[in-house]
Amino acid sequence: MLNIIPGKAKFVKDANYGETFTPNYFATAGYRFAMTEDISVLPSVMVQYWQPQLTGLHANIKLQYQDFLWIGGSYRFADLVGGYSGMIGVNVSNTFNISYAYEHASSSRLQTYTRGYT
């Protein structure tokens, strides 16, 4: 959960751009399946609810080789901020990885700010 305590952003003067912030709720689930001894597939989903207007479903899948190298994709179903992304990464240790993701907006509202294509 983000923004547990709702409030007002004192540093924002324009009412069109985030004058207030409200709680943002997340629920997520996933599982790791071993395809072979070296390759695992990790599907996951996340449901997001943000008052007053955003409800979204994020569907993800990641293929991992020997707990070291991974590649994945994600799709976000949401009216206001829908989109898809591709990801790649390297696990440096159990708690640290280096990764890159590229996202493309599929909703017209988000494309206004990210200059994506329809």
Instruction: Give me the pLDDT at residue 24, please.
Output: 84
Residue 94 has pLDDT above 70, yes or no: yes
What gap in Å lies between CA 56 and CA 78, rounded to an integer?
A: 5
pLDDT score of 44 = 96
Beta-carbon neighbour count of residue 64 at 10 Å? 20
Percent of the chain with pLDDT over 70: 74
Q: Which of 48, 47, 39, 37 is nearest to 71 (CA)?
A: 39
pTM above threshold 0.75: no
| Mean per-residue pLDDT over the chain, rounded | 82
Strand partners, 58: 46, 76
Per residue in 21-77, pLDDT (tens digit) is: 778 889 999 999 999 999 999 999 999 888 766 788 889 999 999 989 999 999 988
* 7-30: average pLDDT: 72
Given the structure tokens 């597939």, which residue do they identify? 41
- Residue 52 has a pLDDT of 67
Q: Which of 2-11, 43-52, 70-79, 96-105 has the lowest mean pLDDT?
A: 2-11
